[in-house]
C-alpha cells in the first residue's frame, strides 16, 4: 500500500512530500483549495500514466532497465481527472522552466507490496503543442506484479436512464470526468456476474450449495457484502437485469425494497422495485462508493467528498462501513472530506490536516481544534462528546474515574458511557458550569465526586454520600463526597496491596506499621479515625512505584470483598446516572 506521495510542480504543490498510513482509511481534512483533492488527483494521474506507458511502450517502460524515450498522448486521450486543458496540471500553469528540460512535472509514489516488498516509481510529464509526454524516471520495479490498482472516485454524478455496456477505457474516462454514475450499472453488473459464477462453481455436482459454503460466500463475496450493507442501511437490495450483447443496448439495475422476516430468518420483497436512478443522491452515493470499495480489483480507493450527498447521520456510518470492509480485504482508502460528523468521530491517527504548513497527521486534540478552526467551525472536544453521551462525571482527576471503572468491573456492574471532567473546583462551581451545559444540551445528567479532604465528616450522608453542604434542587445533578479523606484511603487493604506487590500479606506488616503508622490487621481496616482522616496517598503511591506498580494496578487487584460499601454505593449511582 502507498506510504509516500511526492509531487513537484503538480497543481497546488510546487514541491511537497506527504506520508500516508500503509493501510486502512486516511481522512484528508482542510479548507477549500488547501490541496486535499490535489493529492487524490496526483495519485489518479500517476496511475493513469503507468497504464498509458504499459499500453503504449510495453511493461518494460516502467522497469529499472528501460532507457528509451517517453510516450506522447493527445489532450483528448487524457482522462484520469477533469481539466479545461492540460496546462492546469502544472503549478502556476507554467509548463516550462527556463534552464531545465521539458519534463518539468513529476509525481513519485512509494508503496509496500505484501509479497514483493517496498517500491517506488516516479512519473514525469512534459507538455508540447498540446501533446502530453509521459516517462518513468526512477523506479525499483523489475516486474509489474507489485503495482497497486488505484481507483479515483469523485462524488457520484452522470447517472442517466440509459447506460450502455462500457469498455474499460470508457469506464476510466467517465470516472476521470467525474461521471462515476455513468458506469455504475456496469460495476454492479460485473459484481453480480462474478457472484453468479462463484455460486455455479459451488453448486457444481450438487443439488444446492452447502450451508458452510453459502456462509463463506456471504461473508467474503463483494456482491454479497454490498447487498447485506444496503439491506441493513437503506432497506433495499440491488437487482441487475440480465444482459445479452446481441439483443440489449443498455444495462438495467433496480432497487428492491426488502424487510426481514423473523419466521423464515430471511429478507423478503416489501414493495415494487424501482430504477436505480430514481433513488436519492445519498443512497446513490453510498452504492457507488461501496461498489468500488468491495471490488476485488481495487487496491487503493481515492474518494473525493463521498459524504457530499449524505445526511449527517449517514456520513459516519459510511466511513464505519468502509472500515469494516477494510478489516476484511486490507484495502487502503484516502478520503477528502469536510464532514464534521466524520472528522469528529475519527481517531487522530487517521486524519491528515491540510493547513498552510506541511500536511500531516493530527497528533493531539489541540490539533483537531485548530483543524476545525481552519474549516471555519468552532469545536470543543469535551462539549461535542457530552452531546453524544449526555452523561458527565466531575472528578478531581482522571485517575479517580479509572478507579471507579475498575471497581465497577470487579463488581460486575456496567457503567453507561460517561464523559469525565477533571477539576478540583467545589461542587458549587461545578454545578454552575453544569447549568451552562444544560442550556445547550437538554437531558444532560451529572454526578460530581470529590474527596472530603479536611471537611467535617458529618457533612456527608453515610447512606448516599450526598454532600450536605451543597444544597440545591437539581434532580439531574448529584453532589457526592467520599467519607474517607481521599479516595486512596479506600485502597488501604493489606491483602490487596500485598497481592499487587507480589508479596504475602504478612510481608508488608513492617511498612504498614512503621510508614503508615496504622495498627496491623490482615482484614480490611474498619472506619476508625486514622483510616478516615489520615493522608496516605503519597506513601502508598511511593511504595507501589518502587515495585513498578501504580494505583491503577492496585484498584484492578481488588476483590469484591476488598471494596468498601461507600464505593459500591458510588458505582451504583453512576450505573443509574
Every domain of the chain and the residues it spans: 2-148, 168-346, 385-481
Give the per-residue pLDDT at 23. Answer: 67
- 2-148 architecture in CATH? 3-Layer(aba) Sandwich (3.40)
The hierarchical CATH code for the domain 168-346 is: 3.40.50.300
Confidence of residue 435 (pLDDT cuts 50, 70, 90): confident
Strand order of the sheet with strand 391-395?
A: 419-422, 391-395, 445-450, 477-481
Confidence of residue 378 (pLDDT cuts 50, 70, 90): low
Residue 109 pairs with which residues in a beta bridge? 5, 121
Give the per-residue pLDDT at 330. Answer: 80
User: CA 469, CA 479: separation in Å to the nearest integer?
Assistant: 9
The string of pLDDT tens digits covering residues 467-505 is 988 877 788 999 999 999 999 999 999 999 999 999 999
Phi first, then psi, for residue 28 (nearest 5°) are -100, 115
From the centroid of its chain, how far is CA 58? 39
Give the per-residue pLDDT at 367. Answer: 81
pLDDT tops 80 at residue 119: yes
User: In the chain, what percentage of residues exceed pLDDT 70?
Assistant: 98
> Do 476 and 444 meet the contact criterion of CB atoms below 8 Å apart?
yes
* Of 37 and 159, more confident: 37
User: CA 248, CA 537: separation in Å to the nearest integer?
Assistant: 81
User: CA 41, CA 132: separation in Å to the nearest integer?
Assistant: 16
User: CA 367, CA 373: separation in Å to the nearest integer?
Assistant: 10
**Burial zone of 471 (CB within 10 Å; 0-12 exposed, 13-18 middle, 19+ buried):** exposed
Confidence of residue 379 (pLDDT cuts 50, 70, 90): low
Helices (H), 58-177: 168-176
Give the per-residue pLDDT at 450. Answer: 94
For residues 263-267, average pLDDT: 87
Same fold flag, 2-148 and 168-346: yes
For residues 120-147, average pLDDT: 92
pLDDT tops 80 at residue 357: no
pLDDT tops 80 at residue 308: no
For residues 414-429, average pLDDT: 90
Q: What is the pTM (predicted TM-score) of this model?
A: 0.67
- Alpha carbon separation from 170 to 158, 186, 244, 253, 277 (Å, rounded): 13, 11, 19, 19, 20
Give the per-residue pLDDT at 61. Answer: 93
Name residues whose C-beta falls within 8 Å of residue 98's C-beta, 6 or more positions apart in sequence: none
Ranges 70-79, 130-139, 285-294, 568-577: which has the least confidence: 285-294
User: CA 480, CA 491: separation in Å to the nearest integer?
Assistant: 18
Place of cell 510481608: 507
User: CA 554, CA 274: separation in Å to the nearest integer?
Assistant: 62
Give the per-residue pLDDT at 46. Answer: 95
Give the per-residue pLDDT at 305. Answer: 87
Residue 314 DSSP symbol:
H
The string of pLDDT tens digits covering residues 283-301 is 888 888 888 888 888 889 9
Amino acid at each position: 500500500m502507498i506510504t509516500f506521495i511526492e509531487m513537484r510542480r503538480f497543481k497546488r504543490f510546487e514541491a511537497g512530500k506527504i506520508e500516508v498510513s500503509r493501510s486502512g482509511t486516511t481522512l484528508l481534512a482542510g479548507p477549500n483549495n488547501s490541496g486535499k483533492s490535489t493529492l487524490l488527483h496526483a495519485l489518479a494521474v500517476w496511475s493513469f500514466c503507468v497504464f498509458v506507458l504499459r499500453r503504449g511502450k510495453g511493461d518494460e517502460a516502467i522497469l529499472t532497465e528501460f532507457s528509451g524515450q517517453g510516450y506522447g498522448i493527445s489532450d483528448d486521450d487524457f482522462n484520469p481527472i477533469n481539466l479545461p486543458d492540460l496546462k492546469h496540471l502544472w503549478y502556476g500553469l507554467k509548463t516550462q522552466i527556463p534552464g531545465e528540460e521539458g519534463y518539468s512535472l513529476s509525481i513519485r509514489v512509494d508503496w509496500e507490496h505484501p509479497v514483493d516488498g517496498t517500491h517506488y516509481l516516479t512519473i514525469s510529464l512534459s507538455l508540447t503543442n498540446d501533446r502530453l509526454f509521459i516517462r518513468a524516471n526512477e523506479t525499483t520495479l523489475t516486474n509489474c506484479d507489485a503495482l497497486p490498482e488505484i481507483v479515483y472516485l469523485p462524488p457520484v454524478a452522470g447517472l442517466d436512464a440509459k447506460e450502455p455496456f462500457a469498455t474499460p477505457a470508457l469506464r476510466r474516462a467517465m470516472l476521470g470526468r467525474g461521471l462515476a454514475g455513468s458506469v455504475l450499472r456496469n460495476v454492479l453488473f460485473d459484481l453480480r456476474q462474478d457472484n453468479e459464477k462463484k455460486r455455479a462453481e459451488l453448486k457444481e455436482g450438487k443439488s444446492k450449495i452447502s450451508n458452510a459454503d453459502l456462509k463463506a460466500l456471504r461473508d467474503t463475496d463483494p456482491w454479497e457484502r454490498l447487498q447485506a450493507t444496503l439491506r441493513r442501511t437503506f432497506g433495499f437490495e440491488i437487482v441487475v437485469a440480465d444482459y445479452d450483447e446481441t439483443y440489449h443496448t443498455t444495462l438495467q439495475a433496480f432497487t428492491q425494497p426488502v424487510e426481514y422476516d423473523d419466521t423464515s430468518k430471511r429478507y423478503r420483497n416489501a414493495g415494487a422495485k424501482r430504477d436505480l436512478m430514481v433513488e436519492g443522491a445519498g443512497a446513490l452515493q453510498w452504492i457507488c462508493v461501496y461498489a468500488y470499495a468491495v471490488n476485488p480489483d481495487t487496491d487503493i480507493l481515492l474518494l473525493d467528498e463521498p459524504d457530499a450527498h449524505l445526511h449527517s447521520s449517514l456520513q459516519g456510518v459510511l466511513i464505519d462501513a468502509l472500515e469494516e470492509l477494510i478489516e476484511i480485504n486490507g484495502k487502503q482508502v484516502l478520503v477528502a472530506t469536510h464532514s464534521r460528523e466524520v472528522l469528529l468521530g475519527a481517531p487522530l491517527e487517521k486524519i491528515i490536516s491540510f493547513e498552510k504548513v506541511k500536511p500531516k497527521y493530527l497528533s493531539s486534540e489541540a490539533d483537531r481544534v485548530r483543524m476545525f478552526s481552519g474549516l471555519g467551525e468552532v469545536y470543543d472536544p469535551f462539549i461535542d462528546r457530552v452531546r453524544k453521551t449526555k452523561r458527565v462525571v466531575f472528578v478531581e482527576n482522571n485517575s479517580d474515574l479509572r478507579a471507579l471503572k475498575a471497581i465497577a468491573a470487579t463488581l460486575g456492574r456496567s457503567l453507561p458511557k460517561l464523559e469525565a471532567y477533571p477539576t478540583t473546583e467545589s461542587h458549587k462551581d461545578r454545578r454552575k458550569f453544569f447549568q451552562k451545559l444544560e442550556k445547550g444540551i437538554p437531558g444532560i445528567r451529572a454526578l460530581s465526586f470529590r474527596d472530603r479532604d479536611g471537611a467535617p465528616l458529618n457533612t456527608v450522608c453515610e447512606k448516599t454520600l450526598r454532600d450536605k453542604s451543597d444544597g440545591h434542587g437539581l434532580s439531574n445533578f448529584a453532589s457526592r463526597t467520599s467519607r474517607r479523606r481521599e479516595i486512596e484511603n479506600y485502597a488501604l487493604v493489606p491483602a490487596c496491596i500485598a497481592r499487587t506487590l507480589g508479596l504475602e500479606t504478612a510481608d508488608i506488616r513492617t511498612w504498614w506499621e512503621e510508614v503508615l503508622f496504622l495498627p496491623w490487621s490482615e482484614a480490611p481496616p474498619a472506619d476508625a479515625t486514622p483510616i478516615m482522616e489520615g493522608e496516605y496517598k503519597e506513601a502508598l503511591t511511593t511504595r507501589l512505584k518502587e515495585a513498578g506498580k501504580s494505583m491503577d494496578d492496585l484498584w484492578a487487584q481488588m476483590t469484591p470483598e476488598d471494596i468498601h460499601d461507600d464505593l459500591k454505593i458510588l458505582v451504583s449511582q453512576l450505573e443509574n446516572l
